[in-house]
Structure 1
Amino acid sequence: MSKHHTVVLHDIRSMDDVYAQLARQLPLPAHFGRNLDALFDLLTADLEGSLTLNWPDAADARPYLGADRHAALLTTLRDAADERDDLHLRIG
């Protein structure tokens, strides 16, 4: 039976916050790099089992991350969700 993971991101003020919260909530591989390419690889290939990722206050992170980084993070998450049927995003 495959494991189901649930991640809740909250109070994101930097990309370090994103990676730290993921590290606390998921079994990250030792080779995980703290960048968007590594995040995509984690979500599409390295993480076994289904995943629900909740980010209810995503809009609040935009001023902290900057518009470009915020958009890139959301694109990475959505692209990963497009790659696998068992990755569900709930972005607020």
Structure 2
Amino acid sequence: MPVTVCELRHILSLQQLFNEMSRQLRLPPHFGRNLDALYDCLANEVPGPYQLIWRETAETEKALGADVYAAVLDILETVAAERGDVTLDIHR
């Protein structure tokens, strides 16, 4: 089965993150564009296998703020840990 790759880079806002993930992973139309909805979709609705590659995360952390960035990263790490068909590759 082919692996869907979602490559994020130069993410400077949550809306940009949601837009890119929606486009690349084909999130469902009912995606609520908030962190809880992001977790729900990534954990339960996006068919696997898929790989999340996030580049320039230091730039994103600065733009989003440390708390929001940590919350997003926690969601991605949790989804990767819970699902056996999701991999996460973070590049600062």
Q: TM-score normalized by structure 1? A: 0.92
- 2:43 paired residue number: 44
**Does the CA contact (< 8 Å) of 2:13 and 2:64 recur in 1?**
yes
Identity of aligned residues (%): 41
User: 1:69-84 counterparts in 2 under 5 A?
Assistant: 69-84=68-83
Q: Specify every segment of 5 or more residues in structure 2 that has no aligned partner in the other structure, as ranges.
A: none
Q: What number of residue pairs does the alignment pair up?
A: 91
Deviations 1:14-38 (A, max 9, x none): 0011001112212111110111111
Runs (4+) off by over 6 Å: none
**Does the CA contact (< 8 Å) of 1:3 and 1:48 recur in 2?**
no
1:22 is aligned to 2:21: yes
**CA RMSD between the two structures:** 1.1
Q: Specify every segment of 5 or more residues in structure 1 that has no aligned partner in the other structure, as ranges.
A: none
The DSSP-based 3-state class of the residue aligned with 2:33 is: coil
